[in-house]
Amino acid sequence: MTTTARTGVPRILHLHSTFAAGGKEVRAVRLMNAWGARAAHSIVSAQPEAMAAAALIETHVPVDYPQAFPALTGKPTPARLKALARAMQGYDLVCTYNWGAMDAVMAHRLFADALGLPPLVHHEDGFNEDEAVRLSPKRNLYRRVGLVRAAALIVPSRLLEKIAREVWRQPPERLRRIPNGIDTAAFAVPPDRQALPLAKDEGTLWVGTLAGLRAVKRLPDLVAAFASLPANWQLVICGEGPERSAILTEAEALGIAWRVHLPGAVDPARVARLFDIFALSSASEQFPLSVVEAMAAGLPVAATDVGDIRHILAPENAALLTAPNDPHALGEVLARLADDPALRARLGAENAARAGAQFDFAMMRAAYEDIYAAAMGRAF
């Protein structure tokens, strides 16, 4: 990767709750890769150890990772917030992501005028397990106050749009809903069988998922749901995160550890078509990019009925959604799909057609470019 320098291109500071290779991080990387040398980027993670998405940034993209940037989390004291604000100086745009970057949003709110800070665009993509069931009133108030000076608030889902409008009281002129999009054509090509550190043997079938290994993803539930499938089926969970040991513990307890694989972070476009079924077990989502990726790869989806998934999937596939936190129900859907190749093929074809028509990357990219350019007052 190259290092940013002071050039004529916009300098964009990205303040992430985490930069693990999850949905919002992969989306941000794909936008950076698409812009290439047209913008320079500095990336900070509230979890400094969670930087796996950096490996997906292409070498022609000017990017750096400020090591002396103040911590994004901690007590929101005036001194700490002012230090955060000072660290934003010198950029053309600040992009903040999720609750883990909200102190930076508040710092911008308080000190933008005094320090001459660049415009800020905030992105909300969903909630961790601490807000998966019930939103925090304190956080709602903090968001409402902090977002007053934001140039825009971008959300991907109908549910988040409703929350932002009714709970965080965001005015229509600030709020933008942009459905997540992908390069659908990239998922229609044959997979790279060398992209994973495990081989798919003849006669073996895979249930696969692409997810950050976080508690809200309920991946031990997916292991339990998978457990009753025949022995020629294996479960491949691609991603990184703190729940790795919990997933492996569940697999050991169910006696299926030899059929459960955790190969780490991957490039979804290179591996998605290796799967025969895509599965998602989350307790909370908004607009999961991984579901759109699975659809573009022509896969049937077994998932929980959370966020916008019902609106994303082809109608026949959406009818198979199950309640969250119910491994038995999810297991029944997996078993039905595993037992019916014709159903898998039909749902996969319907999903692929829908992804291409409604969720292609070009539409999403244009929308983000328009919002960022309007905030900065310059094209790029």
Q: Which of 18-22, 38-42, 146-150, 257-261 has the lowest mean pLDDT?
A: 18-22
Reading the block at residue 91, the tokens are 């950029």
- 144 — pLDDT class (breaks 50, 70, 90): very high
- 105 or 288, which is more confident? 105
pLDDT at 164: 96
Average pLDDT, the chain: 94
Helix pair angle (78-87, 102-115), 10° resolution = 70
Give kind and range of the element (H or E) at residue 354.
helix 341-358
> What's the mean pLDDT in 190-217?
93
- 8 — pLDDT class (breaks 50, 70, 90): confident
Task: With a cut of 50, say whether residue 5 has pLDDT above it.
Answer: no
Whole-angstrom distance, CA of residue 277 vs CA of residue 294: 9
Write the DSSP string, 163-192.
HHHHTS---TTTEEE----B-GGGGSSPP-
- 7 — pLDDT class (breaks 50, 70, 90): low
Whole-angstrom distance, CA of residue 236 vs CA of residue 229: 14
Give kind and range of the element (H or E) at residue 114.
helix 102-115
Q: What is the pLDDT of residues 65-86, one digit of tens each?
A: 999 999 999 999 999 999 999 9
> What's the mean pLDDT in 161-170?
96
Task: With a cut of 50, say whether residue 4 has pLDDT above it.
Answer: no
pLDDT at 380: 83
> What's the mean pLDDT in 299-313?
96
pLDDT at 3: 44
Strands (E) located in the chain? 11-16, 40-45, 63-64, 93-97, 120-123, 152-155, 175-177, 205-210, 233-238, 260-264, 277-280, 301-303
Q: Which of 3-17, 139-153, 249-263, 315-329 has the lowest mean pLDDT?
A: 3-17
Task: With a cut of 90, say whether residue 135 has pLDDT above it.
Answer: no
Give kind and range of the element (H or E) at residue 108.
helix 102-115
Domains of the chain, first to last: 11-181+361-376 (3.40.50.2000), 184-358 (3.40.50.2000)
Reading the block at residue 314, the tokens are 């082809």
Q: What is the pLDDT of residues 169-194, one digit of tens each?
A: 999 999 999 998 999 999 999 999 88
Burial 255-280 (b: 16+ CB within 10 A, else e): ebeebbbbeebbbbbbbbbbbbbbbb
Burial of 131 (0-12, 13-18, 19+ CB in 10 A): middle
Whole-angstrom distance, CA of residue 304 vs CA of residue 322: 5
Whole-angstrom distance, CA of residue 103 vs CA of residue 236: 36
Task: With a cut of 50, say whether residue 267 has pLDDT above it.
Answer: yes
pLDDT at 163: 94
Rg (CA), the chain: 21
Distances (CA, A) of 50 to 44, 65, 94, 105: 10, 13, 20, 21
pLDDT at 129: 65
Q: What is the pLDDT of residues 96-133, one digit of tens each?
A: 999 999 999 999 999 999 999 999 999 999 877 677 66
Distances (CA, A) of 195 to 267, 294, 335: 8, 17, 27
